[in-house]
A and B are shown apart, each in its own frame.
Chain A
Amino acid sequence: MTPVMDTELVPPPQRLVSAFDASGIEEKYFGTDSVSWWGTVGFMVIEGFTLILCMGAYFYLRKNELGWPPERTPLPDLVVPTISLATLLLKLVPISMAARKARRWDGDGVRRWLAITLAWNLVNLGMRIAEFGALRVRWDTNAYGSIVWATLFDHAYLILFDLFETAGIALVFFRHQETHRDFGAVDDDAMYTWFLVLAFIPVYVMLYWFPRWT
């Protein structure tokens, strides 16, 4: 072995001196000082970008057809998707109230609004299942059918996972003793819900209105 350490360059051991006392600093549960907020935002970026990719593919495939939807493919229904969007928008009320109660450490208030949110999530999921029928095309009919199913399915997964996340948090609040961190989770869940609802608006316009304009 050839020695490589240049002993003149190796710094001498250093004496530790206290320069900052952190004993009075507490954990933060809401907003950017909570690491879970960053995780939630990270997943929102990824999932939002997958929706943008689906929308990009939709418009890319549009250029291959003279009409849109292509010939012999009916226009999508408008009633069921519009009701679905409205139910999604309405979900913002209970989850925002739950988050408001969470920021006030009001466990009972959180429980009440989470229960309403959870029930409403089931309505959202039911409406989404009905929405696939409203597309009036199968995924294997043509490329139009493939991309509208993929886009709607992508967003349906977000609804499903949001339902699951809300159910998990609700379970903690109803069956276990909640901790401060669980209140932070409610707040993050509300942020995620706002994302998935607002993200659906351009998807809704693209899937159901754009074919009517072209």
Chain B
Amino acid sequence: MSAALAPIPLETETITRERDALQRTWASEPGLLGWLREVNHVSIGKRYVITAFVFLLLGGLEAGVMRLQLSRPENRILNPDSYNQFFTVHGSTMMFLFAVPVMLGMGIWLVPMMIGTRNVSFPRLNAFGYYTYLFGGIVLYGAFLFNTGPDAGWFAYPPLSTAFTPGKRTDFWAQMITFTEIAALAASITLIATIFKQRAPGMTLNRIPLFVWSILVISFMVLFAMPTVAVASIFLALDRLISTHFFNAAEGGDPLLWQHMFWFFGHPEVYIIFIPGLGFVSHIVATFTRRPVFGYPMMVLSLVATAFMGFALWVHHMFATPLPQLGQSFFTAASTVIAIPTGVQIFCWIATIAAGRPRYATPFLFVLGFFIVFTIGGLTGVMVASVPFDLQVHDTYFVVAHFHYVLIGGALFPLLGAIYYWFPKFSGRLMSETLGKWHFWLLLIGVNVTFFPMHLLGYMGMPRRVYTYLPETGWGPLNSLASAGAGIIVVAMLIFAWNVFSSWRNGDVAGPNPWGADTLEWATESPPAPYNFAHIPVVQSPAPLWEASGTMPVVTGMRTDVREVLISSVMDAHPCGKHEHPGPSIWPFLTSVCVALYFVPVIFTPWGAVLGTVAVLAGAAGWGLPHATSSKPLPAPGSMYKDEPLTPEAAR
């Protein structure tokens, strides 16, 4: 049986030999086929993040074109039809193809390193999730390129999205939703199992890094939020394809059912997006003040409380519908109360900063930007939580300003700070601080110049989703200012793109831990080896790298000839088993293709469901059944490992 030992120094020769063996076992395969068969979390996580940033670029370009259109009255750059497609695809891209995937992607990339393991629990499911997400994005943009982009808004309210939008535009939107929700669900199950069962020995619940907590919390939120929108979008597609009546009031259906289902997903979605941002902030604050974050238990409880409350607010998106007054009061109260756990976290960070000696490096500047922008968005959130005020500004530019402050402040600023912070781990090189500071200041100015005037435009009565306006409305100057701000954001993001590109090629070599941070990912090489840790660390404190005194306690006795990981108990992270991970496989990719063979044909014919079911079952069969050509190395002679043919003798 296993045993805790008095620390025994490892010989350099042993370490080198084991590293070589691990490299052979965990290495990625070369070529396109190797790329498609890849199951390593670092590669899949990077793909998620890079793909999401490509979609951010596309969504940003759409926003830029819309700002050009609105920069002066009676502009004719976009016609009404194109404008409808642009704002729908912009919103759908940012919510479904950028914000959620990038946060889950960061989780997939970082969590195994932070908790001291070698890969996520279900590597193939994880890869399948990525391809499914990618196909969802390709479906949406494929349709958009052929003038079939969805045009009923990112929340696609019926009856606009049913009776008043013939053609296939909304159907493409509905299927894109299903693709991306399946991907998010796959990622969430993978991350929950990884965090519960693969933490390094000693990483008890109160030693889990705050970013990992944030990913655990949103993974649970995804389990309940995403099925809701998936079911709703399937109902919508069925109403359009086979004449069901879920949302058709004439036959006993109810358009408000859609709103309830959509916002039961849609409001938690906001928290799914920005709770990981709070995790980023905690790590950056700790590292750049050189202090553990003040009030760790309160920080964790606040994240959990936010998740629970996040599911009790959805109706505040529906204050303009005929709701019972008691319901309005409840959801107003709930919408106000949720400011408390967020406030607790902000005060904990302020206490940490006040007690430390902050280093104003670029990641930390983005945290300060987060405080400013997110707090403004939070305050206007408390304003729109009030029913009378909400009715006045409903569907005006005030709401547009509010949610852009929340999402840019709560998610984009921490994410960009996180990119600067973890870029050394991503690439092995540091990003330029000079360019980073230019990026930060221009973005902070640009965001405020763009979105602050929208509050005033909302007060002046400018509705959202209008493709143009008359000069007599007086909205021209503030719109011009907002569009100029968008130009500043474009410049800021170009600087960021150049910084990433040039630093990846020529940045200063970072080394394993350039910031002197405290969490386990900084104990790996930069970029990490495919197995992350040659020896699984043993954790003895919440800040293992700060409290280690020249030695790092590790686990020995793990096999190096198969992809073996250590399994630990949920609460105390006590080692209780091992698990051999599967190697590279083409089946996650092929099964994802099969899923596409389901969802794309059903846009056009209900028989697509029959074809799709057969295809998905075929994909699952290929994935699940044993393969004669399995590349799994044979177990070593005398091994304790049990995944080998079971003889009657062994069974006895």
Contacts and interface: CB of A to CB of B under 8 A. Distances in A.
A20 interface: yes
B161 interface: no
A175 to B, nearest CB: 9
Contact of A24 (B2, B189, B433): B2
Nearest to B194: A35
Contact of B578 (A18, A27, A142): A27
A143 B251 contact: yes
B254 interface: yes
B46 to A, nearest CB: 22
Nearest to A21: B557
Contacts of A181: 642-643
A17 B2 contact: no
A1 B507 CA distance: 8
Nearest to A68: B252
Contacts of A39: 121-122, 125, 189, 193
Given A35-B121, A70-B252, A49 B224 contact: yes
B76 interface: no
B223 A10 contact: no
B69 to A, nearest CB: 38
A61 B567 contact: no
A50 B231 contact: yes
Interface stretch (A52-60, A88-96, A204-212): A52-60
B193 A38 contact: yes
Interface string A1-33: 111111001111011111111111111110011
A143 B224 contact: no
Contact of B566 (A1, A22, A147, A179): A22
Size category of the binding interface on chain A: 35 or more
B552 A64 contact: no
A53 B261 contact: yes
A32 B254 CA distance: 42
A7 to B, nearest CB: 9
Given A16-B535, A27-B641, A107-B646, A140 B243 contact: yes
Interface stretch (B7-15, B130-138, B377-385, B475-483): B7-15
B553 to A, nearest CB: 3
Interface stretch (A40-48, A112-120, A122-130, A194-202): A40-48
A57 B261 contact: yes
B121 A20 contact: no
A151 B639 CA distance: 49
B645 interface: yes
A45 B223 contact: yes
A211 B198 CA distance: 48
A181 B578 CA distance: 12
Contacts of A46: 185, 189, 223, 227
A144 interface: yes
Contact of B4 (A9, A19, A164): A19
Given A16-B15, A38-B121, A172-B625, A9 B290 contact: yes
B197 A38 contact: yes
Contacts of A15: 9, 550-552
A106 B651 CA distance: 7
Interface stretch (B313-321, B342-350, B512-520): B512-520
A65 B249 CA distance: 11
Contacts of B553: 17-20
Contact of B556 (A12, A20, A26, A53): A20
Interface string B1-23: 11111011110000100000000
Interface string B554-577: 111110000000110110000111
Contacts of A50: 227, 230-231
Interface residues of B, number: 103
Interface string A169-196: 0011000111111010000000000000
A150 interface: yes
B548 A17 contact: no
Interface string B225-259: 00110110011001100111110110111100100
Contacts of B68: none
Contacts of A183: 646
B511 interface: yes
Contacts of A4: 361-362, 430, 433, 514
A16 B10 contact: yes
Nearest to B11: A16
A141 B651 CA distance: 57
A25 to B, nearest CB: 5
B555 A179 contact: no
Interface in B492-518: 507-508, 510-511, 513-516
A179 B1 CA distance: 23
A16 B642 contact: no
B252 A26 contact: no
B634 to A, nearest CB: 13
Contacts of A143: 244-246, 248, 251-254
A24 B557 contact: yes
Contact of B5 (A16, A18, A164): A18
A23 B2 contact: yes
A57 B223 contact: no
B624 interface: yes
Contact of B579 (A9, A11, A27, A179): A27
Contact of B513 (A11, A25, A141): A11
Contacts of B227: 46, 49-50, 53
Given A1-B434, A16-B9, A46-B223, A26 B578 contact: yes
B617 interface: yes
Given A17-B10, A20-B5, 14 more contacts: A3-B508, A5-B508, A14-B550, A14-B551, A18-B5, A35-B121, A38-B121, A39-B189, A46-B223, A53-B261, A142-B245, A143-B245, A146-B245, A179-B646
7 contacts: A3-B433, A6-B359, A20-B2, A25-B575, A34-B577, A149-B244, A176-B626
Interface of B: 1-5, 7-10, 15, 121-122, 125, 185, 188-189, 192-193, 196-198, 201, 223-224, 227-228, 230-231, 234-235, 238-239, 242-246, 248-249, 251-254, 257, 260-261, 290, 359, 361-362, 430, 432-434, 507-508, 510-511, 513-516, 523, 535-536, 538, 545-546, 548, 550-558, 566-567, 569-570, 575-580, 613, 617, 620-621, 624-626, 640-646, 651
Kindly list the 4 A-B residue pairs having the minimum CB-CB distance in the complex, ordered from nearest: A23-B557, A9-B516, A19-B553, A42-B189
Interface of A: 1-6, 9-12, 14-29, 32-35, 38-39, 42-43, 45-46, 49-50, 53-54, 57, 60-61, 64-65, 70, 105-107, 139-147, 149-150, 160, 164, 168, 171-172, 176-181, 183
